[in-house]
Amino acid sequence: MIDKLPTIKKLMRHLHQVPFLASKNLYRVTSYFLQMDRERLNQFCTALKEAHEKIVQCSFCYVWKEKDTQCIFCDDIGRDRSLVCVVESWHELLVIERTQSFHGLYHVLGGVISPLDGINAKDLKIDELVHRVTTREITEVIFALNLTPEGEATAAFIARKLYGLPVKITCLAKGVPIGSNLEFVDRLTVSKALADRKVF
Ligand SMILES: [Zn+2]
């Protein structure tokens, strides 16, 4: 049936490329967009374009920030600059922030090493992390990567890269269930795992 509706088919093809949008919801999301009134549609498109134009990554920690403004972490003088928490993405950073128990800086890798998905070390901000540790007064790097095989392999790869540098390497305590995504762990567990972090 969809083949006879090429415009809808085209929209669905684009929506299908949106990560985390489950295929089973594709028809519902398509209907949602089709039913949007003109004003709402314009506001949505403008917000999307504006975000693309005005949001950039901080050149130190790779967290999103508004263009031409300071990084809400790196430029916050109240944060401990000797601690760097390494996270896979923004989602995990938000989880750590929600615990309100970490007051250091972050480093967003942009993913984890996963050759099957075509993601290699050079695709991530790993060299940038090593450079940061080498050139800044960082005394501890905390791995807060997801406890998946890819997350653990990525942590091991980075630890080898940091070997020999005068920096303590720690990881979250194993209160976080194996194979879990930090995003879906309750904030108390994450907070405890952070407090009980151990040498990697
Ligand atoms: Zn920053």
Q: Domain check: are 97 and 159 in the same one? A: yes
Residue 58: is it exposed, middle or buried by C-beta count within 10 angstroms (0-12/13-18/19+)?
buried
Work out how many domains the chain is built from and give that number.
Answer: 2
Judge if 52 and 74 occupy the same domain. Answer: no
Whichever domain contains 46, its CATH number is 1.10.8
Task: Output the CA 136–ligand 1 centroid distance in Å.
Answer: 13
- Which domain, by its residues, includes 106? 64-199
Torsion angle, alpha carbons of 128, 130, 132, 133, to 10: 170
**Low-confidence stretches of the chain (pLDDT beneath 50):** none
Distance from Cα 94 to the centre of ligand 1, integer Å: 14
Residue 75 shares a structural domain with residue 97: yes
Q: What is the enclosing helix (H) or strand (E) of 18? A: none
pLDDT at 22: 81
Q: What is the whole-number distance in angstroms between the Cα of residue 12 and the centre of ligand 1?
A: 36
pLDDT at residue number 198: 73
Instruction: Let me know whether 42 and 72 are in one domain.
Output: no
**Adjacent-strand bridge partners of 168:** 140
Amino acid at 180: S
**Gyration radius (Cα) of the chain, Å:** 20
Are 73 and 123 in a shared domain? Answer: yes
Give the model's pLDDT for residue 187: 78
Q: Which two tokens stand for residue 126?
A: 């790993």
Whole-model pTM: value is: 0.81
Q: How far is the CA of 139 from the centre of ligand 1 (A)?
A: 17
Do residue 82 and residue 129 come from a single domain? yes
Domain identity same for 91 and 14: no
Q: Do both 84 and 32 map to the same domain?
A: no
Residue 59: what pLDDT? 94
Determine the distance separating the centroid of ligand 1 and the alpha carbon of 123, expressed in angstroms. Answer: 19
Residue 24 is predicted with a pLDDT of 86
- The answer to whether residues 12 and 108 belong to one domain is no
Q: CATH number, domain at 181?
A: 3.40.1360.10
